[in-house]
Amino acid sequence: MPVLAEYVRSYPEVCLDVRFSERFVNLVEEGIELALRIGKLEASTLVARRLGTVRRYLVATPTYLRERPAPTTPEDLNTHQCIVYSRLSPANEWTFESEHGRHVASISGPLLVDDADAMEEAVMHHLGIAILPEWNALAGIRRGQLENLLPDFSISALPLHAVYPETHWMSLRARTFLDLLIKRSGQFSTPLAHPPFSAPGR
């Protein structure tokens, strides 16, 4: 929203149609000029501009952790209820890195969810442990509502790209918005990165 606010203040005559979604969107079929995508990009005809990375955190509430010991290694997660993000594959495995190498934990739990905000709500209802992107995790960690688990084991960050159809012509609206994203791209590699959205034409 800070990026959108800056754009609207700079170009008050422009109307942006902004859509927040975690589903895979076909930009050409849906007439979308520009989108932000998180994660590894598949081969396509889209043009991609790297903006930064999204950090992820393994979290749970103190209330949930009172019911069972906090995990000290990734392998301990197989005794916990885990809230799984269904859009990553394989959904039943979480991978961690440490100075001793890679650790793959087999996980299971009561919920398979395709929306990060819903996962955060489930965690806040003490339903289990989840891997959340930074914008869903950091505020709760800072307030003490969430505990950052396994801090000695890292979860790979995900790349953040602006993508748009390959074309010799881009609207001035899309070009100026992309320029602003590039200008602000430094913040996307900090703990203040923003969630994905698409900015279709009117």
Q: Which pLDDT tens digit goes with each residue over 168-192?
A: 778 899 999 999 999 988 766 544 3
Q: How many CB atoms lie within 10 A of CB 13?
A: 5
pTM of the predicted model as reported, rounded to 2 decimal places:
0.80
125's CB contacts (< 8 A; 6+ apart) are none
Q: Which residue has the tokens 């039943």?
A: 92
Greatest Cα-to-Cα distance within the chain, rounded to the nearest angstrom = 58
Per-residue tokens: 71: 């995990």
Higher per-residue confidence, 143 vs 89: 143
Please tell me the class of the 56-148 domain.
alpha beta
Higher per-residue confidence, 154 vs 189: 154
- Answer for the pair 97, 154: CB distance below 8 angstroms, yes or no: yes
User: Tens digits of per-residue pLDDT, 30-69?
Assistant: 889 999 988 888 878 889 999 999 999 999 999 999 988 9
pLDDT for position 199: 38
The SS3 of residue 83 is strand
Residue spans per domain, the chain = 56-148
Helix (H) or strand (E) holding 143: helix 134-143
